[in-house]
Every structure is written in C-alpha cells, then in structure tokens.
Amino acid sequence: GMLLPVVNAAANEPRAAGAELDPAGIAKFTQRMPLAPVLQPYLTTSTTSYYRMTLKEASKEVVPGLTTKLRTFNGSFPGPVIKAESGRRVVVKQTNALDVPTSIHLHGAHVPQDSDGSPMDLIAAKGGSKTYTYPNTQPHANLWFHDHAHHMESENVFRGMTGTYILTDDTERRLGLPSGSYDIPVSLRDARFTDTGELVYEMGDFRHRNVILANGKAWPYFEVAARKYRLRFTNTANQRFFGLSLADGSEIVQIGTDGGLLSAPYRTDTVSISPGERADVVIDFSRYPVGTTIELRNKHVDRDEPANEIGAVLQFRVTRSARDDSVVPTQLRTLPPLPTATVDRSIDMRMDETGAPSSMAYINGKTYDMNRIDTEIAYGATEIWTVHNANQYAPHNFHMHLVQFRVLERNGQAVTEGPETGLKDTVPLKPGETVKIQATFTGYRGTYVYHCHLFDHGAMGMMANMRIS
C-alpha cells in the first residue's frame, strides 16, 4: 500500500464542539468548481504592478449546505490569483485583520530576504501590515503564496491562507499552449469538518482530514469543452499526497512542474504532487463525446483510508464542443545548464514516530531554532545536497526557499525522465528514500529557511536556516 503520514495518533481525537462530519455523507459532484478570482493591481507603472490584500475571516460554503469560517486573502477561498510577468516587478501590501500574526511567503520565488515571508518576519495581528516586493527576475513558473508564521503556518494554511501566483514570460507565451478560459489553476487539498461545517484543526492530524477540496469546494464538478485544457495543479494540503489520474486511465500530458515548463512534455497516466508541489498538465477532452463525465481520481490512498472519499477528487463534465487551436509542442524550453558543484552536504529528515502528542521533528537531529544558522553558504556557490528521509513510516518532502534546484538522483538512480527533470523547489521523500539535489545560490544574500513542506512537520520543528553570504 501507499505510505502516508501516521503521526500523533493519540493527539488526533476531535476536540471541537459538535460531532464530526462524516465525509461519506457529503454529496459528491454537486457543486461547481469555482475559479479563483484574478486580483487586479490598484496601480500599474512602466515597471511595477501594485496590489493590496487584506487577510481576514470569511465564511463560505465548502461542503454543500454548510457554512465554514475561514482565514482568507481578501475573503476569497480559494485565495486570489496574481498574474505576473518576468521582468516586471510586483508589489503587494498585505494588511492583517486576523487575530493571529501571519507572514506571507511566495513559494518558489527568487526574492530578497525581506520579502521572502520567513517564519520570523511577522505581520502583527489586528491591523499590522507589510509590503512585499517581488522582482520577478526568474523565468515563468507556477508559484503560490501562503502563511508561514512560525508554529502558526500549519493551522493558518489549513484554515485557508493560500493563493496562486502565475509568473509568465515570452518563452512560455510563444508556445501556443491552451490559454485564456482553457488555462485553469486548481488548488487541491484535504480538510476535516464538524457536522456544523466548522474546520477541525489538530496538529499532526492526518487520518481525519478525509474531505477533498478542489478550488475550495468539496468534490466539485467542472464543465469542460471537448478540447485541450491546461490545468495547473497546486497541492495546498498540509500533509496529503495526491496521485492524480483519470478514471479511465487515459493519458495526461505533464508539461511543467514547480519551476515552470519541462524541457519536453511527459505523457503519463498518473501525476504525483506532494504538499507544496505543482503539476502543470494538459488534458485533451476531445477524446470524449459531449455528455461524458469523467472523474479525476486520487490513486494515493492508504489501505485503511475511506477509498470512496480519498480516491475521488473532482468530476469533469464534457458539455460542449469547441474550436481548439492550441498545441503542445514536442520541445517546451531549454533548461539552464548545470554548473559544477563545489560543496556537498547531507540532510537527514526525521520525526518521532511514537505517536506521542509531544512529537518533535528534526533536520540533522535538531528542531528549528530561528536564531540558529544551520548552514553557511558562500554567495554564488553551487552545491549538492543529499537529502535522506530517515523515518520508517512517515513520508516527508524537502523545500528550499530562494532557489529552484535540480534533482540529480533518487535512491542512487540518475533522474533522466519525467517531472523531476524540471526545475524544482520541493521534492518528495518516501520513508527511507534519498535524493541528491543541486542548487546555485545567487541573486540575494541573507537568511532563508529550508524545511519539510508537510506543514505539520515544519511546525513540529522540521525546518532549518541557511545563510548565504
């Protein structure tokens, strides 16, 4: 069977008032999957687009017939989409009207330390604000933003604080991929509710988050035309891995990953994304007659999970025909060459697997200390990091701020095909697995974090500081 996080079993008893909502009782494919609202700049100059957002509570219908209180960007759930261009700066003023502190991190972005949204760089609760500047000096990529406040990120994200940031450039635009209303960002996650619709957050919870949300709705449907669509998936779940496939096993063409397009399309029947990862895919619905419904399934279901619930994601309904001038070229981009590495490091990821509520998580034997520098990096250096999951049951993944890295090897085998040949900022590690990654630390000096992107693990201490100087 698939291996999924089994942690803090003892801490997972529901504590919220009201009974637990039974996911099996939620009607599937009755709500339309909404599109995240595209945020408009309030000011545009020749170099810069200026945005503002307010972090605030909002109530939404996530499960049909129930209302859920959320922590949101601008009252949106799913969070808004920012559309940015390489070479044009984006400035975002975030005002925090929540009663908890936040820090807003742009995941996958190459940004100066003071705009990185690091765990220690908080926006005060009840009226604090901070302006983030994103230079967008990197090529096109599917980025996303989320809360990163130290020890709070897991709960803040669980309660809704995520959004999408699509960075495009000429390389990408020239290709003729499906665009406009055929280019759809989809945020996938899980959740857990009371029978009155309130979210139930328990640190380390995994077993009870059995409701699957696509763009903020439980098991929605999405109407498509019988033509090609580009779907940009982001896994915004705290801990859940997805293995996405169409119910009939037909082809999905993966064109991109965390850091933008692959060099060439990768044809597969299953697209895997761990928390924080992105998969950019094209699905050709012209193979289905108008009137067909086709489910997007999740193959990553553990044997003691409710297969009907965890195995379902969303339903596509082919409702009309449409003209299709889009193409998926056989070559998508040229990936940057790999410079020679001069430094090797080892990173060991481990957490307590005893199930005790006080479980801790470690990188190289240490839990996170915001005042400790764990890794000193020379500005401009190219390094190879050998990252190992030392756990027996718990999967992890490894995310670095500031850089897009390359995956050289997985378990001693060179990575030569598939999505891991692209630019990555997050890489999954099953129990016992080892990956070798390579990164070059240029652009900005400063202190940035690296961590497990299973938010609960990060909040339990599986995080460290690197200083580039």
Q: Which does 451 bind (CB under 5 to 8 A by kind): Cu ion, ligand C2O, none?
A: ligand C2O
Q: Is residue 199 at the binding interface for Cu ion, with CB under 5 A as the rule?
A: no
Q: Which does 228 bind (CB under 5 to 8 A by kind): ligand C2O, Cu ion, none?
A: none
Distance in Å, CB of 358 to Cu ion, minimum: 17
Q: Which does 410 bind (CB under 5 to 8 A by kind): ligand C2O, Cu ion, none?
A: none
Q: Which does 135 bind (CB under 5 to 8 A by kind): ligand C2O, Cu ion, none?
A: none
Q: Is residue 449 at the binding interface for ligand C2O, with CB under 6 A as the rule?
A: yes
CA nearest to 14, candidates 214, 212, 196: 196
Distance in Å, CB of 258 to ligand C2O, minimum: 10
Binds ligand C2O by CB under 6 A, chosen from 146, 189, 232, 410: 146
Stretch that binds ligand C2O, among 69-77, 244-252, 406-414, 447-455 (CB under 6 A): 447-455
Residue type, 249: G
Work out the number of other CB atoms within 10 angstroms of the CB of residue 296: 23
Q: Is 173 left (phi over 0), alpha (psi -120 to 50) or beta?
A: alpha
Binds ligand C2O by CB under 6 A, chosen from 148, 217, 240, 317: 148
Token duo for residue 20: 């637990």
Binds Cu ion by CB under 5 A, chosen from 396, 399, 401, 451: 396
Binds Cu ion by CB under 5 A, chosen from 96, 404, 457, 460: 457
CA nearest to 189, candidates 165, 226, 149, 216: 216
Distance in Å, CB of 177 to ligand C2O, minimum: 25
Distance CA 125, CA 55 (A): 10
Question: For residues 73-112, which are near ligand C2O according to CB under 6 A?
Answer: 105, 107
Report the DSSP beta bridge partners of residue 54: 95
135 to each of 49, 88, 117, 306, 395, how far by Cα in Å?
Answer: 11, 7, 14, 44, 34
CA nearest to 138, candidates 104, 97, 182, 168: 168
Q: What are the E-state strand segments in 68-127?
A: 68-73, 81-85, 89-96, 104-107
Which DSSP state fits 461?
Answer: T
Contact criterion met (CB below 8 Å) for 302 and 431 = no
Q: Which does 209 bind (CB under 5 to 8 A by kind): ligand C2O, Cu ion, none?
A: none
Q: Is residue 396 at the binding interface for ligand C2O, with CB under 6 A as the rule?
A: no
Residues in touch with ligand C2O (CB under 6 A): 105, 107, 146, 148, 276, 399, 401, 449, 451, 453
Residues in touch with Cu ion (CB under 5 A): 396, 452, 454, 457
